[in-house]
Chain A
Amino acid sequence: MSGLTFDIAHLLAGSLVLISFMMLYQDRLFALINVFALHAVVLALSVAWQAYIQDAHHLYITAGIALVFKAIVIPVGLHRIIQRLGIHRDIETAVGIGPTMLAGIGLVTLSMVLMLRVTPEADPLAREDLAFALSIILLGLLVMVTRRNAVSQVVGFMSLENGLVLAATGAKGMPLVVEISVAFSILIAFIVIGVFLFRIRERFDSVDVGALDDYRGERR
């Protein structure tokens, strides 16, 4: 593999990790969604680049899904939902930004150490993709646990899922990648439709997921 193709793949995957970090400190919902749209665009580029260097044409479909569905349709939909539900104010983060960033750095270090250590024999590109993908997945989880708002949890989940798509496309010749990305898009569509149809904001006094324990009188 020539140096340039490798560097470009590396650059794109690395930018995804950086954008994941940007999500950690967004304190407004609109900004968070815009950052997520950027995440999806970079993912689409990265997947398309993999499709090109692996000569795997079916991956262009995955790239297309990422671009159209995740970078355009979902963010636009979420913008409208937020306006309808009237929650375009600050995000209530459960943990402060400083500790969150530190935790994020810790998680990225962890995934680098872990993945680079267990895959010494794998193809270097796949290996680094995997390490970046695990970082993105863990950062996505971090977004989900530090936010208590349904919409930002969805955004966290979607960024996590972007990490999975990156890992799946990095694994050379993996079958069912397109099917899995379609399955995930359906899952996400369900989540977003669920937020909207069930008016999670309107029907619940808060979108706080921790409230049910109180409701049942079984506070743990």
Chain B
Amino acid sequence: MTGFSFDAVAAILFIPAGAAAVLATMPNYRMTAAVNVAASLLTLLAALSLFVTERPAPGQYLLIDDLNIVFIVLNTFVGFTTSVFSASYIGHELETGRLTAPNLRFYHAMYQIMMFGMNLAFVSNNIGLMWVAVELATLTTVLMVGIYRTHEALEAAWKYFILGSVGIALALFGTILVYMAAQPVVGEGTNAMVWSVLIEKAAHFDPALLSVAFIFLLLGYGTKVGLAPLHAWLPDAHAEGPTPISAVLSGLLLNVALYAVLRFKLLLAANPQAIGPGPLMVTMGLTSLIFAAFMLYRRRDIKRLFAYSSIEHMGIIVFAFGMGGPLANFAGLLHMVMHSLTKSAIFFAVGHIAQVKGTQKISEIRGLTESHPGLGWALVIGVVAIAGLPPLGIFMSEFLVVSSTFARHPWLAIPLVFGLLIAFGALLLRLTGVAFGEPRGGMAPVEASYVPMYSHLALVFAAGIYLPAPLVAWFQHVAGILG
């Protein structure tokens, strides 16, 4: 950089925060949608610049390392594509009168505050700050889930609020316990909450206290990841809010909570006497996978169907990270990226489908590939991808998870494969009904923005065929860090 130093971390935080302030004062919805897209693009560029600019030394509050760059880039990328999708989706909602202009101003400002909260959670080096950031991101999504003010939307938002708050309270208690464990070793004050200091000294912490802390953190942040049996908020929040929010909830917010769990898992792994975090995560992951796989069969609402599918996939990811080791961690990371891209693409398609058909009921949507080929085939590709069929990216990551499980704990592979097959069957069953056959429901042509969904699907497809070597090297390196 010539002359002035470009601070990418500050840019990642200040662009969304500044944009939120600007958006809150702008009256015109077309303009706010455009500004929202522009701000998201700028944030994405700032995130990408993290690869090339020099990293700041870890401070008391902020940290950039190889692990969180992956999360930040994924977060800002999906944030950007969702803002493009949101612009066309929201226009339609305004025409049909489901949302009003003041609603939209609020919505766009909240969108940027949510991006700010998520980015802050990723770059924070301080476990207290991370907690505050996750809380902020949660609060904004609660407000957006309830934005339609219908009976169901309010009830979904309320449920999300209460369960999310309980989760966040448990996570705070865990955070306090980590501080208590660190305090005798690191000393009083801010340093005992700085993650990069904690990880260096974790071997000397009281193992029992650290273990109990992790259980609270896993339950607390696990509520936000949507792990069964703490998932009850997730399907309602996905189904009743605006679809762009369903996309960011599934694609991004779940990852934020997962990232928090991973950071604390590393802390625990650094202490040889503490309980192994692996078995706990493997158990919760498998429970979520199998539970969600069975729940997929009974869904009547298309957005709830894919919400349960998110629980299933977060289960797989947590399972993979719980297994640990270079291969399973690699698979978990890859699966997380692929799931974020695919699931948000599916929600983009579902959003337009629900608008054009005027319903979210699966039984009232038929023959999409005939009536709306663009949307229908996007949904087909998306569901084929999410069900784990080759040659798409999720097949590869699921294959890696299964094969690494077979290599190390063959008994665990049986429930894993069982859950995957059950979910696979449910998704394909629903897909054939929705995508093929005699068209039913609204036939109006749709003004959809195809670019976001097809670009996501293209990435997933490309990843299934060929992963570039630098990317593989990077992921292997991060998988190594995760231990």
Spell out A's residues near B (CB within 8 Å): 114-115, 117-119, 121-122, 126, 130, 133-134, 137, 141, 144, 150, 153, 157, 160-161, 163-164, 167-168, 171-176, 179-180, 183, 187, 190-191, 194, 198, 200, 203-204, 209, 211-212, 215-218
Contact = CB atoms under 8 A, between A and B. Distances in A.
Interface string B121-138: 000001011011001000
Given A175-B192, A218-B299, 8 more contacts: A115-B212, A130-B176, A157-B169, A179-B128, A187-B135, A200-B158, A212-B236, A216-B239
Contact of A175 (B161, B172, B177, B193): B193
Contacts of B132: 176, 179-180, 183
Contact of A121 (B192, B206, B301): B206
B298 A218 contact: yes
Given A137-B173, A216-B304, A153 B162 contact: yes
22 contacts: A115-B212, A118-B212, A119-B180, A121-B184, A121-B206, A126-B180, A134-B173, A157-B166, A160-B169, A164-B173, A171-B183, A175-B128, A183-B132, A194-B157, A198-B146, A198-B149, A200-B158, A211-B155, A212-B152, A215-B151, A216-B239, A216-B301
Chain A CB within 10 Å, residue with most, of B139, B173, B206, B300: B173
Nearest to A205: B151
Nearest to A212: B155
B89 to A, nearest CB: 22
Contacts of A176: 126, 128-129, 132, 190, 193
A157 B176 contact: no
A216 B177 CA distance: 40
B30 interface: no
Nearest to A213: B236
Contacts of B304: 216, 218
B155 A171 contact: no
Contacts of B42: none
A209 B239 contact: no
Interface in B187-225: 188-190, 192-193, 206, 208-209, 211-212
B154 interface: yes
Contacts of B157: 194
Contacts of A134: 173
A212 B209 contact: no
A161 B171 CA distance: 12
A165 B128 CA distance: 13
B179 interface: yes
Contact of B165 (A122, A150, A187, A200): A187
B357 interface: no
B159 interface: yes
B256 interface: no
B184 A164 contact: no
A161 B169 contact: yes
B156 interface: yes
Contacts of A218: 298-301, 304
A164 B174 CA distance: 10
Contact of A194 (B158, B170, B211): B158
Contact of B189 (A173, A187, A212): A173
A194 B161 contact: yes
A168 B176 contact: yes
A144 B165 CA distance: 12
Contacts of A167: 173, 176
A152 to B, nearest CB: 12
B206 to A, nearest CB: 6
A209 B158 contact: yes
B100 to A, nearest CB: 16
Contacts of A115: 212
Nearest to A172: B188
A137 B180 contact: no
A203 B154 contact: yes
A138 to B, nearest CB: 10
A175 B61 CA distance: 12
Contacts of A212: 152, 155-156, 159, 236
Contacts of B193: 174-176
Contacts of B172: 164, 168, 180
Contacts of A122: 180, 184, 206, 209
Q: Closest 10 A-B residue pairs measured CB to CB? A: A173-B188, A118-B208, A176-B128, A175-B190, A212-B155, A167-B176, A198-B154, A118-B212, A171-B180, A118-B209
A55 B28 CA distance: 53
Contacts of A216: 152, 239, 300-301, 304
Given A180-B128, A217-B300, A164 B183 contact: no
B151 A204 contact: yes
Contact of B159 (A137, A164, A180, A209): A209
Contact of B209 (A119, A137, A187, A200): A119
